Structure 1
Amino acid sequence: MANPLYDNLIGKHATNDACFLRQPGKPAVSFRQFSERTSQVANLLLKHGLKPGDRVAVQASKTIEMVILYGATIQAGGVFLSLNTDYKKMKSRTSSKMLLQKSLYVTRRNGKI
């Protein structure tokens, strides 16, 4: 199935070794590395049952890993829903039920998803 959003945002840069993302305290990520990591996570999402149009709710800090999860979600055909990290747990649970998401990802204190 064609995926114009992924193809235009990420796919066309898959062989570019130029720097794409930088985050203090972490190694820079090239377009190529981003594309590779995005594909790995997209495959995991699909393996765990994500179907085109499924919502993936994410409550995470603004990290490289979150951007990779965004790319993976669109590559897999999902819809990425970003939840504010300041939401309380109960609010997140209530919101996630209303959104009917397929998955919910939350950041740990160390910033990892």
Structure 2
Amino acid sequence: MLRLKRLEVEGFGPFADQQVLEFPEGPGVTVVYGENMRGKTSLLNAVRYAFFGTVLGRGSRVRRLHTISNRDLVGEGQYGFNVALTFDYDDAEYELVRECRPRVKVPNSDDDYTPERPAASK
């Protein structure tokens, strides 16, 4: 069985600084709640990005990576983001780390980024 343990995001969507979400241990369901526009969907997208390298927007449309970087950081000339997801699967712990870094000083499209493949460690 797959069990999420920890999610770390930085520069991803509304999360400029590193944010860490620790999932509770044990069986059950974890509910993430809060006011609108506080980052709940971004957390779900961070998990999706860690596993699959894509982010979905409204209507389940794939969002361009260029639009995922934190807007405040982009305003300061800092582009890119990273996501790390720690999880258990079949009694083994794994960590997926994905980074999306610009290849040019001021990126304008997804082609200007180098999305790193996940580095999985046991």
Compute the TM-score of the two structures, normalised by the length of structure 2: 0.31
Structure (1 or 2) with the greater helix fraction: 1
Compute the TM-score of the two structures, normalised by the length of structure 1: 0.32
Structure (1 or 2) with the greater strand fraction: 2
